[in-house]
Amino acid sequence: MITSRVRRRAAAAVLGLAAVMAPPVAAPAVSAPSASSHRVPPEPPAADAVRTELDGLKVEPPHSMTGYSRARFPHWIKQYGECDTREVVLSRDGSAVTQDSMCRAVAGSWYSPYDDKTLDSASKVDIDHMVPLANAWRSGADTWTTDRRKAFANDLDNPQLYAVSASSNRSKGDQSPDQWSPPNQDYWCTYSRAWGHIKSLYALSVTQPEKEKLIAMLDTCD
């Protein structure tokens, strides 16, 4: 009995010592958030659906630009890790994109659908807001909260952000489709579908000339 009791105590001591000396169990690895859900620009609804959306929009003259600044639409915000909205779109819309440790695109190529150009450097690429910030302000965003304007300016879930040539983006500025439309007319169908859907999604108004031009551009889808 004594021998058995001693053996049990010795075994317990050895097990306790092994537990102390054993390396700690590593915590399960947690994957960092990624842009995997944003691999391509979101597809806008079909032309007929956008025509219906346009019919539901308020038609009115542009609101005053009083109080407007781009700072009222905070961007580009961090989306995951070091990656802000611009870098996510560059990665999403580009081909063979390489990013550095700060998530900056250092190599790749980008096709600009507005003007049918291929660009070989991120420095030549702008991220365009399909419905420009100033246009949104004139269409109803002047009454929004800052949080809603921030969501609008960084919207990756809807057809609002596109990687395009800097020259086409700056030519467009804050103009509506009746004032500027892509030189590449093959893109008019997608452009008008995206513009009309964003206006509807955010309950923004349109001007009469803007609506008429959108309808004409939607006709290119047929």
pLDDT exceeds 70 at position 73:
yes
Mean pLDDT of 209-216: 98
User: Given a cut of 60, is residue 34 above it in pLDDT?
Assistant: no
Q: 136 in helix, strand or coil? A: helix
Q: What does the pLDDT average to over 181-189?
A: 98
What percent of the residues of the chain are helix, what percent strand, and what percent coil, each to the nearest 5? 45, 15, 40
Token output for 211: 């609506």
Mean pLDDT taken over the chain: 87
Pairing relation of β-strands 125-129 and 117-119?
unpaired
Task: Tell me what pLDDT residue 222 has.
Answer: 82
Residue with tokens 């093959």: 186
The mean per-residue pLDDT over the stretch 108-113 comes to 98
